[in-house]
Every structure is written in structure tokens, then in C-alpha cells.
Amino acid sequence: ENRPIPEPGANEVLLRMHSVGICGSDVHYWQHGRIGDFVVKDPMVLGHEASGTVVKVGSGVTHLKPGDRVAIEPGVPREMDEFCKTGRYNLSPTIFFCATPPDDGNLCRYYKHSASYCYKLPDNVTFEEGALIEPLSVGIHACKRAGVTLGSKVFVSGSGPIGLVNVLVAKMMGAAAVVITDLSASRLQKAKEVGADFTIQVKNETPQEVASKVESLLGCMPEITVECTGVQACIQAGIYATRSGGTLVLVGLGPEMVTVPIVNAAVREVDIRGIFRYCNTWPVAIALLASKRINVKPLVTHRFPLEKALEAFETTKRGEGVKVMLKCDPTDHNP
């Protein structure tokens, strides 16, 4: 609140922030001070799902002007390394990323960011939708890595925000049937709302039993499984469920060491792929939102002003609703 308003560099823009979504990683840093090797050592601003209005542009910026509404891609490469040259800049080891220590996020009133990673929003795309491009991008990147295409049968494990965006994107990319699992009946209901064809509420089934339920609902084993929980039993179920020759994409992050039936995957030629965030997804997402081919609005279940950020974080921590959105602009009264 009391920080000085930053001055943008030559290739940066200064933004008045509008909408910032709370991610599970934000809550994890707040509660535990670390995720894997990323450790919070100094005070850090959270937030990386964001949109805002340009208030000032650096001398080298030509594609944006004050008043433009933009969505922010939080990962900005610091150098043109081999990963950037091949278009996989998300894998650059020196990348700047909002709210990943030691880099500050954008849950604040004013924020400066690389202009190349701020994308102008069309008039018919709201600030909230702009903030939701970040989680939506995870779904786009995961489904691309999985090879979802016309007629695909897809199993999504976990019905949190990331599971839900994978349902949205898989259906958009032509999946014929999507089955999704979760512990929570209310989250599965939300999955139905956004387009899941079948839901399975997991209670105490074994991974093999979950895989069997997936197969019976789809009428076959899915070619593609998108695992969004990071839970060991769910990864095991993902391997058992995926059709021979199919692909399992690991999106959810859990413990560093996990026991999985790797020989089962190996002898059936099940490809296991990881994803790290996303790359080259903002233009795609904006086009999908502007054309109304994808509707992310149902994902937002709670809204809080920035002054009630703690309450918003507590709500997310308790697992209430789906996506909690913070409003950083006190002059804006629109939902």
C-alpha cells in the first residue's frame, strides 16, 4: 500500500492493477514460505493472475498506450538463451516470474511489467477474463502437450481450477468425451457446468478401481489423461487408466518423490509428459475469449476488494468456491 509508484523502464509499462486471481501457489507461499527449491527469504508481493490498465509507457514501447486494458503474462525471460530461441521460453532457467521468489507479484495498486508480456484486451473481454488467462493458459499448454484432438477421449484428474480449465480447453480442442474425478461433489458439479461429460466422486477406491470406472464411463480407456492433483494415488490411477500408446500429462505438483507403476506405463508405451507453466498462449486465449468460444466466467465464485486480501486468502485456503478474485481498483464498482 505504501510503496512508491514505480517508474517504467524503456521497454516497460506502468499498470494500475484491476483484477488479480488467487492461485494455490500464492496460498502455499503464504502458508509455508516455499515451493520446492523456491524459498521466500525476503518480503514478497504475491499474485500472478492479473489484468490492469496502462497508465504510463516507457520510451521504447509502441504497441501500447495509456488507457489500454491488458492481461499480464507473468513469466518474462531475462536473456535470449537456447530455450527462448526455440520458442520454449518458459523453460529458461533465469526467467522472471511474478510471485516466485525472489520476484514480486502484482497483487498491488500499481505494477510495472515488460511491455512485450502485456497483451491488449479487446473491448468484449473483461478484466476478470483477462486475469483468468493465466490459469486458462495452463490448460491450453497441457492439452497441446497431450495432443488433444478431434474425437479424443480424455480423463482429467482433479476438479480444482486447473482441472476445470483443462475440461474447457479439451472440449474446445475437439475432445469427444471428458471424464473428471475429485473428492468434492460441489467441484464435480462445477465441472459438469463447464462441459465435463462424466464425473466420478472418488471415495476410497484403489487407483486400479478408479481406472476401471473411467473406462466403463467412457466405454474405452482414454488416449489422454491430464493429472492435475500431484497426489501419488491419482498419478497411479492416471497410468492405469491411460490406453496403451496414449499420453499422461502431469500438471499437478506434489511430493518430489512419488511411487508409480512405471513398468506398467513402459510396457504399454504410455508417454508421460510434464508441463512447466505455459508459453505462447496469451494470443490464443485472447482470441478464444473474444470469439466467445470459451467461457471462463463460471470459474469466479468469490470477489474481494484489495483491502480484504487476507479474507480472500483464507477463503481460498479453506477450499471454498473455485476461483477467488481480488479487485485492486477502488474506483471500479463493476463485478
Which H or E run contains 302? strand 300-305
**6 domain-assigned:** no
Cβ atoms of residues 321 and 168 within 8 Å: no
Query: φ and ψ at 173, to 5 degrees?
Result: -85, 0
Same domain? For 82 and 168 the reply is no
- Specify whether 97 is located in the same domain as 218: no
- CA 81 vs. chain centroid, Å, equals 25
Strand partners, 72: 50, 118
Q: Are residues 267 and 149 in the same domain?
A: yes
pTM of the model: 0.96
Query: In this structure, what is the dihedral angle of CA atoms 141, 254, 246, 269, given to the nearest 10 degrees?
Result: 130
Q: Are residues 192 and 111 in the same domain?
A: no
Q: Are residues 270 and 321 in the same domain?
A: no
Domain span including residue 198: 139-274
- Give how far the C-alpha of residue 262 lies from the chain's centroid of Cα atoms, to the nearest Å: 27
Q: What is the pLDDT of residue 334?
A: 52
pLDDT in tens, the chain (335 residues): 567 899 999 999 999 999 999 999 999 999 999 998 899 999 999 999 999 999 999 999 999 999 999 999 999 999 999 999 999 999 999 999 999 999 999 999 999 999 999 999 999 999 999 999 999 999 999 999 999 999 999 999 999 999 999 999 999 999 999 999 999 999 999 999 999 999 999 999 999 999 999 999 999 999 999 999 999 999 999 999 999 999 999 999 999 999 999 999 999 999 999 999 999 999 999 999 999 999 999 999 999 999 999 999 999 999 998 999 999 987 765 54
Whether residue 3 is contained in a domain is answered as: no
Same-domain status, 226 and 269: yes
pLDDT at 93: 96
Question: Rounded distance, CA 169 to CA 161, Å?
Answer: 12
Same domain, 252 and 148: yes
DSSP state of 5: P
First to last CA, the chain: 22
Do 262 and 175 share a structural domain? Answer: yes
Q: What cell does 186 get?
A: 460441489
Closest CA to 296 of 158, 131, 71, 175: 131
- The reply to whether 201 and 321 lie within a common domain is no
Burial class (CB in 10 A: 0-12, 13-18, 19+), 55: middle
**By 3-state DSSP, what share of the chain in percent is helix, strand and coil, each rounded to 5?**
35, 25, 45
Query: What is the pLDDT at residue 335?
Result: 43
Grid cell at residue 299: 470459474
113 lies in the same domain as 143: no
Write the CB contacts of 134 (distance below 8 Å, at least 6 apart in sequence).
Answer: 21, 23, 48, 49, 50, 71, 73, 74
Domain containing residue 91: CATH number: 3.90.180.10
46 domain residue, yes or no:
yes
Q: Looking at the structure, do residues 155 and 245 belong to the same domain, yes or no?
A: yes
